[in-house]
A and B are shown apart, each in its own frame.
Chain A
Amino acid sequence: MSSKPVSVKSVASASSGRSEASPAVGLPIIPGRKSTVSSATVGRYMVLTAFLFYCVLPAAWIIAAMTKDNGQIFTTFGLWFSYPFHVFENLSGLVTYQDWIFVRWFGNSLIYAGSISFGSTLICALGGYAFSKYEFPGKQFLFNFILGTIMVPSTALVLPLFLMLNKIGLVNTMWGVILPSLVNPFGLYLMKVFWDSSLPNELIEASRLEGANELQIFWRIGIPLMQTGLVTVALLGFVGAWNNFFLPLIVLSEQKLYPLTLGLNVWNSVSSGAGGKPIYNLIAMGSLVSVLPLLIAFVVLGKYWRGGLTAGATKG
């Protein structure tokens, strides 16, 4: 049995490592009551399978719609393929429609998510370091205050933010989306937690005695120890920015600056509105392409993702 202590961050790896190695882990299987156990097992699998179908239902619709032209989307069963496949027509249609606007949206999303993720991770790493490694008056109050702002509804912020951005000329610019998104109270909290556990205070003291200055300690000694924390916060920042809808909706008016979420929603409104030309096949294709980077990140970096989210609720 693996004796590795299970920290929240290593939940993913720990649980997968355990699964085959130690059947004794988890709930006990009561010997001599095989029949009840197996009926419970059947029930368990049925519930899990049912929920599995529920989770993939929208994905199934998208994948089925991807194979159809727009007419077939209305006339054939929504959750099954149509043959011959129209996948490649849909893909080229998606890319070239309205002067390659989808490619532009995709690029915009990459710019938004990339810069927001990088910027907010850096800012939170610095700020989290201050909260973790230094003492200063009002520290606890300030930390609680910043965390408390998570409760403010986004509309409460974004509407006055729009008026402010309007005054300084940032409305309908990329900066108008990027700069406000750099504020990430939850990222700051995560960074503090990661600094607490990744960089021992003794190491800082020792480095000071060696003559390193504070920035050198942060950059040369601290940052290399923080890989998990940095990847987690950067990933959550990327996903949050990639999925953002409300802020760009308010700030941007020009379609050329839209991220994917907003762009697809325009197509949706046009397709569903009166007199519009329906392009549900392109929307389905576009939805799939939009979530593809997330799915890849999800499979490759899944443990950071889960670890970061669960840290918020399981670490007091």
Chain B
Amino acid sequence: MRNLFLLFTRFGHILLFLIFQIISVFLIVTYNKSQKDIWLNSVNVFSGNINEKLQGFSNYTHLKEINDSLMHENAKLQEKIINYKNFQKENLYNTFNGDSSLLQYKLIPVSLCSKTTHLRNNYFSICQGKKAGLRKRMGIITDKGILGITTKCTDKFCKSIFIINSQSRINAQIKTKEYEGIVQWESSDQRELNMYSIPKFANVEEGDTVETSGHSTVFPPGIPIGVVTKVDILEGQNEYKIELKMFEDLSTVRNGFAIDYNYWQEKDSLIQEVVDE
């Protein structure tokens, strides 16, 4: 207590000075018009700046949510396009009316947790699993091409085989020509694919686009894969060896869509029965 008193006798005038200054400034800005205007203006500029900074920061913290919502929106749009294309292919004389029973493909937005692109057998994992509606043997695509097929799913994660895996085989066709072949990865370049089983009378040219055929339950028709860069006819055989360049750069991919085909069980079991017979 005595110390406090001593402190006040020592520095009390500084304290008093500060208090009186605060009171004075308060009086000035409350009762004097020109000073009040300057004060309000300055405070506005100051608080405006602070608000702007805060807004920027909160925008930054909301980026993930915004990103997620955009992904969902993209999934919706892609879904519409895919279903529309599929419908057109199956029904040449009807018009698409958006009836939900006609929507055969559903898209689920996914993000990649990890991936390898430099090995012979490359895999990637997805941060969504069974809880998000994923299952085994679903195709994973982006807006520029296909990524791969899921092989095993847990509740929260999925392991998938990359298209640049020496074991991956994708049914594909040359766009506008409708000849079907098989796309696989043989080179060490992660942007190049090979395509086989196209008969040599198909008249394939460099610059043709290769897309999925849609004859499996994994990929819908019309998803682009790549562009033809080189055409060879194998010696003594009846088919082309085609080199493709992929549209998508797999080393920078972060997000994609999983494709859910509504009638996959029906179609797969039918194919299985035919194979069994």
Asked if A pairs with B, the answer is no
